[in-house]
Each structure stands twice: as C-alpha cells, then as structure tokens.
Amino acid sequence: MERTTALAVAAAIAFFIANVEPLMGLSLAGREASTTIAGGVRQMWLHGEKITALLIALFAMVAPALEIGFLLAILISVRRPPAPRWVGTLLRWAEIAGSWSMVEVMMLGILVSLVKIAAVARVVPGAGIFAAGGVILLLAAMSSSFDPREAWSRVRWAHGDGPERPLSSGGSDAGEGEG
Amino acid sequence: MTAFARTGMGEGFVSCEVCGLLSRPAGADDPGECPRCGGELEFRRRDAIQRTWALVAAAAICYLPANILPILRTTTLRSVETDTIISGVIRLYASGTWYLALIVLVASVMIPLAKLAALAYLLITVRQGSVRNRGERTRLYRVMEFIGRWSMVDVFAAAFAVGLLQLRPLMSVSPLPGVLFFSAVVILTILAAESFDPRLIWDSNQGKQETDD
C-alpha cells in the first residue's frame, strides 16, 4: 500500500507535467510550432472532428487523471479499516477509468506520426514527451503493485458486518473469487 | 479434467462482477445483491449475447468506411494529399521503418477484423453450447480484451499530426471523416468485448460429454 501510494503520487506529478509541457517542438523553413496533448485535441475539435477530439481527451487526459485520482483517494481512505462504503464505488470507478486510459497507446501514436513528420521538418522533443514516458512506467508499476482485493477486504460491507467477520461464517458469503 | 465442467452457478454460488466476492445467491431466479459492495448480482450478464451481436454488427458496418475513407489531409504550398489508414502504412513502409508500418497494419487493420471474427466465433460456439476448447476460447477472450485498445494508435497519431502541423500556408494537416468511423470501430469492438460474458463459455447443454481441454 505504501509503495502504491508513492507510485501514485509520482504518477500524478508526471501526468501534470505531461499535460502542461509541450510534447514536441518543430521547425520548418524558419517557422516554429509545438503542441501539447490538449493542443492536439483542440485542433481536432476546430477542424470539425468533435467526437474524435472528445474521445482523445477522454482516453489521454480524463481517464488517466481519474485513474490516478481515484486510486489516491482509495489508498488514503483504506489506511484505517473499515473504510466507508463509497470507497467501494471508487474502486469500481478506478477500474473503469483504468480500462479507458491509453497513455501508452498515445505514445506509440506519437512515435508513428513523428516518423512521417521527421521526413519534412526538424522535430525537437519537449519536456512533455519525457513526462508522458514516465507516466506510462509509473502507471504500469502503480497498477501492478495495487491489489484491489486487499482494498476490498478493508471496505465496510453493504449487507452484514464485514470486513471483520471471518469469511467462512454464516451462509451468505463463501470466500473470495476472482471477477 | 473431469467429464463435466463444474460452474459456480451449478454449485450454487454467484460471483460479483463489481468486487469479485463469491457468495451464495439469495434465490435461484433473482440472486439479489452482493453482501460486500451492494452491487446487483447476476449469474450471467443479461442479454449478453444479443448485446454483443448488436455491437459486433455496428462495428462491422463502420469497418469498411474506416478503411476506405481518408483520415488526414496534408496541405502544402505545392500540393494537397489525403491519406487513408492503408496509405499511411505504405508511407511508413516507404520511409524505411517497416516495423512501425507492421505495427500500424496489425493494430489498425488486422486487430479490429480479428476481434470481430473472434467475437463471432465465441458467440456462435456459446449459442451452440459447444464444449470443445473451452480453455482456449477463454484465453482468446482474454487476449482480445487486452489488445483492443492498441487499435487507437492511428487516431492518436492523427491527432498529434493535426496538433503539431498547423503552419499555414507552408504545411497544415487536417482530419477527415474516416477518423470518426475508425474510432467508432475501435470503441464498438471494445464495448462488444466488454458486453460478452466469458462465463457463458463454460455453460453448455448439461449432460454433453467434455471432449477436449
């Protein structure tokens, strides 16, 4: 839990940098340009592809932010069990947010696009791209060190008097099973 | 492996899809709520087969325009060019990075198609109550859930190019409707995989002999 918390805090910081700093700079015939993640979304929107713009914003910005934020809230609130029931709701939302967070796919997309752009212009990596690389590693480490079953075992039960009750007692619960 | 696959439902248990707790259902028809998280319990996802078929059909309809329609327009002082997914792959291959061309080809063209085929195969075998290759089919489902997201790679590539290359009149890139169909295919196949219930693979017409696995 301690390690996961540390990784989540680091991921939050790296994610912030990845979103405010430019990913790439470019110079072509004396003209300069650079873009952030939000810049790509904005241009997509301005060019009329509004649904795609929203999807990219969702997968590259909103979902990872929620994934990190929910996890931090969960980790803080399960420190003293039993955790309130809304932590269970957050656990569920964190899983959904995680399944739609695609920072690593975005990174591969940027690489693919760069190969084509590098043929016509000079590109300079910005701080954002390194931070995004860090986000990918930290998110992977964070989700592999986080054990949702451990967190679930500390949440107050909806019906009954868990989590203190031993799993074998009574007839309503029978043990732990994977989704 | 025993002759018959024992399922949790057959043994009088139900697993919660929200928190993973295995519990005794309140009744055989309505399993009630999960004692831990309070989520509504279901032995099998309701209408999973119909919903998945509907999403597979919708994705298949979008697949053709996604691959035929151009996704990007590049305007320079001298020329206006449009790119489809495939022409982007060819361009990558021509620029000498065949491995990136291969990744995009697999992620954008082959994975969505393979997902549609795999889902159709799972749906048909489940409907037939097939008892063969259950382990393999479950694994197929898991791989499919894992790789689906990578199909978005071309949409991110397009968004990045559009965001970076706005040096009008020197060079500018704008998205075209193909990108919308393409994202629709990716989202619909992800939703289709999620609406399928892999537990159905282990339900078969009771009494049939287990032949494989």
Reference A99, options B193, B52, B127; nearest CA is B193
Beta strands in chain B (DSSP E): 14-15, 21-23, 72-76, 80-83, 166-167, 171-175
Alpha helices in B69-172 (DSSP H): 85-94, 98-104, 111-128, 134-147, 153-164
Bridge-partner residues for A25, per DSSP?
A34, A124
Is A158–B36 a contact, with Cβ atoms under 8 angstroms apart?
A: yes
Least confident interval from A12-26, A61-75, B190-204: B190-204
pTM (two decimals): 0.84
The pLDDT of residue A64 is above 90: yes
Best of B164, B165, B196 to mutate (most A CBs within 10 Å, chain A):
B164
B159 with A158: Cβ contact below 8 A: no
Chosen for mutation from A50, A91, A101, A112 (greatest number of chain B CBs closer than 10 Å) is A112
Structure tokens at B108: 């954008």
| pLDDT tens digits along B54-84 | 999 999 999 999 999 999 998 888 889 898 9
Q: Where are the domains of chain A?
A: 2-27+36-152
Name residue A118's amino acid: A
Write out residues 42-81 of A within 8 Å (CB-CB) of B.
Answer: 42-44, 47-49, 51-53, 55-56, 59-60
B65 at interface of A, judged by CB pairs closer than 8 A: no
- Return the bridge partners of A24, or none: A35, A125
* B164·A34 Cβ contact <8 A: yes
pLDDT tens digits for A6-28? 999 999 999 999 999 988 888 88
